[in-house]
Amino acid sequence: MSDYREVVLRREPGPMARSFAALILRLALGVPLLLHGYAKYQDMAPPSPTAIAQADSSASGGEAVAPLTTPQPEPEAATPKAKYPDGLVGMFANNRFKNSILSPSLVTLFAQLLPYAEMGLGLLLILGLFTYFVSLLSGLLLILLLFGQVVLSLDDPAMIEKYRGMYLYILVNVGVVWLAPITSNYLSLDGLLFGWFWKPKVEGEFSES
Q: Using one digit for the tens of pLDDT, what is the confidence trace for 6-53?
A: 655 556 788 889 999 999 999 999 999 999 999 999 988 554 455 444
Mean pLDDT value of segment 54-58: 48
| CB contact at 8 A, 73 and 114 | no
Q: SS3 for 1? A: coil
pTM confidence score: 0.73
pLDDT at position 2 is 56
Nearest to 138 by CA among 151, 128, 129, 125: 125
Cα–Cα distance, 85 to 207 (Å, whole number): 64
User: Using only C-alpha atoms, what is the Rg of the chain?
Assistant: 27
Q: List, as one string, the DSSP characters of 47-101.
A: PPHHHHHHHHHHHHT-SSPPPSSPPPPPPPPPPPPPPTTHHHHHHTTT-TTTTTT
Nearest to 133 by CA among 172, 67, 180, 201: 180
